[in-house]
Amino acid sequence: MSEAAVGMLSSVDRAAINDVSERFGPLFAAGDYAGLARLYTEDAVIMPPHQPAVHGRAAFEKWIVSFPRISRFTLNNEEIDGRAGIAYVRGSYTMTLHPEGAPSPVEDVGKYLEIRKRQPDGSWLLAVDIFNSDRP
C-alpha cells in the first residue's frame, strides 16, 4: 500500500518540512522577524520557556523582537512523523545569543517539539512550537 493511500507523510512532505526548518535559522540570525513569523500559521501557539504562551503569528512577531540578538541558529530535525495534513517534528537546536549587557556571547543548546500543518500550497507551517534550553 502506498504512503498516500494510508495518509502517511510522503518524501515530498518530509522535504517540505525540512525546508521550513532550513529557512528558520538564517531568518532568525538575520533578524528577519517578519520572514520568521511567516513560517508559523496565523493562529500558531509558541510556548517559550519561563514565559506565557504566545498566541498568533502577529503576537509572535511582536514577542520575538525582545529576544536577544542571535548570530547563529541551527535546527536538527531528529524525528518527523504524521498523517495527512498534520505532522510533528522533534529535534535539537544550537544557537549563539548576544544578550544586552553580557560580557560575551552565550552558546545555547536545547530541544524542541513542533506540530506542523500542511498548507494549501504544500508547505508545512508551524502551528505549535515548544522549546527549551538544556543549560541550567
- For 41-93, the pLDDT digits (tens) are 999 999 999 999 999 999 999 999 999 999 999 999 999 999 989 999 999 99
Domains parsed from the chain with CATH numbers? 3-133 (3.10.450.50)
- For 97-128, the pLDDT digits (tens) are 999 999 999 999 999 999 999 999 999 999 99
- For 69-82, the pLDDT digits (tens) are 999 999 999 999 99
- DSSP for residue 64: H
The pTM of the whole model exceeds 0.95: no
How much of the chain is helix, strand and coil, in % rounded to 5? 25, 45, 25
DSSP H or E stretch at residue 26? helix 11-30
pLDDT at 5: 45
Q: Does 6 have pLDDT greater than 80?
A: no
Upper half-sphere CA count for residue 131 (Cβ side, 13 Å) = 22
